[in-house]
Amino acid sequence: MTLFKSPAVATLTLACGLAAGGLSASDRLVHDGEFMVDGMIFGLPEARVYTEDYSGPPVVGDYLTAVPHLAELDYDGNRTHEVRMDVISQQIEVAPGKFYNAWTFGGSVPGPTLHVREGDRVVFTMKNRSDEPVVITEPVAGGSPFFGQIQANPIQNHQPAISPMPHSMDFHSGTVAANDKWQTIPPGVTIQFEWVANYPGVYMYHCGTPSVLMHTAQGQYGAVVVSPKEGFPVEADREYVLVQSEFYLTEDEYSGGYRYDHAAAMARDPSQVTFNGHVNALHDEPLRANAGERVRLYVLNAGPSGTSSFHVIGAIFDRVWYEGNLENEWRGMQTVLLGASNGAVMDFIVPEAGSYKLVDHEFADAERGAAGTLVAGPRKQ
């Protein structure tokens, strides 16, 4: 799968668009009150909060995938994405035998990865369905590619759960008034708002409802990848999304299972630290590549509170674009430090056939699960 879009093609598209008058500044402004600063769009309309009779797929949109997959941007220039990610409760496993009732966007932890292009507009809809059981492990008509990928690799063994709670959505990729767009909605209510991907990057989204520590530690986060409009300067052969996060679980004497441990979360003492939501996620289904290939990782450290010193054993990051912005290019990095909610695009060239461990080089985290594997085949000519 090649997701790369060459700068030459992008430039050509832009030029054609301008020649046809299709990309003028005013055409990108949709609603009254919107304005542009330095080519970026601000002043988006107020969020709409309403009730709807909706019981369809909790994740809708062609560019929403389950980690480590990233959707291909199979269109030129900019477009508007209609995206739905409903809040649902779900029992998930994060390590063998360690189940808990997670609060999620779309049913997995981390939630679906949204891929858009810099300048794209997102019309986002979210219903708080925390008070109804929602199954995500059966085929869904009208759902996003996310469901097929979850069903192909159901490592979290998702089971519907009910845990009515107020929730909200905060996209770090959006530039808006948070008290409006990121407002909390009760169970049964839907919110719809827009944001424009003004900056490229690997962004976190999460529930911002207090206690935000509990809501995020319960599983409400995921990644938005905003690819730069001019594309990356080098072509990648493989692209994968990695989301690192901590879990704070303790045995629950009442249910016999596990539950969130607030004292441990406050003390930053996680029970598990994972890549893509399970200590075995990238061991049972390792990432794949071949010798000589350029692997591009979109890495987000979702926290909620820890840092990640991301490293690939046996490789050096040829190029790193911190926060996924081409202006922030580093070369020859052994480790990339990501604070909570920092992201980066990291390229490395696979040296030879073999097994490459991906780790948080803060070894206390690696020991608790922040490790994975990339299996490399022989060089393909």
Partner 1 sequence: MRTLLILLTLSLPTAAPADDNGIVFIDGGDWELPIVREVATGSGRVDDFLLDARQVTNAEFLDFVRAHPEWRRDRAPGIFRDARYLSHWPQADALGESNARPDRPVTRVSWFAARAYCRELGGRLPSMTEWEYASERQRQSVGTSPEDYARELFSWYANPGAGSLRSVAEGEAPGLGIHGLHGLVLEWVEDFQLVLGRGDDIDLLTGSCGDTARFLPEFDEAHYATFLRFQSRSNYQPDTTTSTLGFRCAYDPE
Residues contacting partner 1: total by CB under 8 A: 41
CB neighbour list of residue 297: distance below 8 Å, 6 or more residues apart: 239, 240, 241, 242, 345, 346, 347, 348, 358
Say if residues 258 and 282 touch (Cβ distance below 8 Å).
no
- SS3 of 285, please? coil
**Binder among 77, 145, 257, 292 for partner 1 (CB under 8 A):** 257
Distance CA 333, CA 327 (A): 16
Closest-CA residue to 117 (of 9, 44, 37): 9
**Binder among 65, 78, 90, 101 for partner 1 (CB under 8 A):** 101
Stretch 272-331 residues interacting with partner 1 (CB under 8 A): none
Q: Is 98 in the site for partner 1 (CB under 8 A)?
A: no
Stretch 136-165 residues interacting with partner 1 (CB under 8 A): 162-165
**Binder among 78, 104, 125, 183 for partner 1 (CB under 8 A):** 183
Q: Which is nearer to partner 1, 87 or 312 (CB)?
A: 87
CA-CA distances (angstroms) from residue 296 to 10, 17, 256, 328? 20, 29, 41, 16
Distance CA 79, CA 41 (A): 14
Q: Is 53 in the site for partner 1 (CB under 8 A)?
A: yes
Q: Is 173 in the site for partner 1 (CB under 8 A)?
A: no
Q: Which is nearer to partner 1, 165 or 371 (CB)?
A: 165
Smallest gap from Cβ 89 to partner 1, in A, equals 9
Q: Is 266 in the site for partner 1 (CB under 8 A)?
A: yes
Distance CA 87, CA 363 (A): 33
Smallest gap from Cβ 192 to partner 1, in A, equals 16
Closest-CA residue to 203 (of 183, 180, 177, 226): 226
Q: Is 178 in the site for partner 1 (CB under 8 A)?
A: yes
Residues that bind partner 1 (CB under 8 A): 51, 53, 100-101, 131, 133, 162-166, 168, 170, 178-179, 182-189, 208-214, 252-255, 257, 259-263, 266
